[in-house]
């Protein structure tokens, strides 16, 4: 009987140790969960801040003179005879002149006038793209130089 009592005491002691260990594990898991929750909040806030900074940077880039320079230069090279690059830079009168010469005089002269406008715009596109951002801004935005 004393063996049974010792075995019972040992089992009770082991059960108590197991309960205590389970309680400690549950407490540790709660601490880890709390820490993980805090880290997740910090990460979410940092992600929001980074996304906001990226959006602001994208807006700045889109509205910058550099993007206008590149857009005007590429359009001058690809669709320049139509004067689209002039409209991008705010030169509406010059854009209309190029468009009329290309469409109306191009038909009358069997495309010669349209070809000349294409050559003019190709040259302008190359000039736009080879100027520095500062030169481009000072020449075409501040100085309002409509041709070449």
Shared domain check, 117 and 75:
yes
Shared domain check, 101 and 57:
no
* pLDDT score for 145: 84
Task: Yes or no: say if 70 and 78 are a contact pair by the CB < 8 Å rule.
Answer: no
| CB neighbourhood size of 136 (10 A) | 22
Q: Is the dihedral of CA 121, 148, 141, 101 positive or negative?
A: negative
Provide the domain count of the chain: 2
Shared domain check, 89 and 122:
yes
Look at the block and give the residue holding tokens 């898991």.
29
- Domain boundary residue, one of 63, 83, 114: 63
Average pLDDT over residues 92-108: 91
Tokens of 72: 């005007």
CA distance 94 to 64: 23
Does residue 48 carry a pLDDT above 60?
Answer: yes
* pLDDT score for 63: 53
Shared domain check, 114 and 49:
no
CA distance 39 to 81: 58
Q: Is residue 40 part of a domain?
A: yes
Shared domain check, 75 and 51:
no
CA distance 28 to 24: 6
Shared domain check, 94 and 36:
no
Average pLDDT over residues 116-142: 91
CA angle 144, 146, 148 (to 5 degrees): 120
- Can you give the pTM of this predicted structure? 0.55
Shared domain check, 69 and 3:
no
Q: Is residue 147 part of a domain?
A: no
Structural domain of 78: 65-142
Tokens of 53: 């900074």
């Amino acid at each position: 009987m004393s063996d049974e009592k010792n075995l019972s005491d040992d089992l009770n002691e082991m059960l108590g140790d197991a309960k205590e260990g389970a309680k400690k594990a549950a407490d540790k898991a709660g601490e880890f969960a709390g820490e993980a929750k805090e880290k997740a909040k910090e990460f979410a806030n940092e992600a929001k801040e980074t996304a906001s900074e990226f959006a602001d940077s994208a807006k700045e880039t889109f509205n910058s003179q550099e993007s206008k320079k590149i857009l005007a230069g590429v359009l001058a090279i690809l669709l320049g005879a139509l004067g689209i690059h002039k409209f991008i830079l705010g030169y509406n009168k010059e854009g209309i002149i190029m468009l009329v010469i290309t469409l109306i005089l191009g038909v009358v002269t069997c495309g010669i006038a349209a070809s000349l406008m294409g050559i003019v715009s190709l040259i302008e596109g190359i000039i736009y793209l080879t100027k520095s951002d500062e030169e481009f801004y000072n020449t075409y935005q501040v100085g309002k130089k409509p041709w070449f």
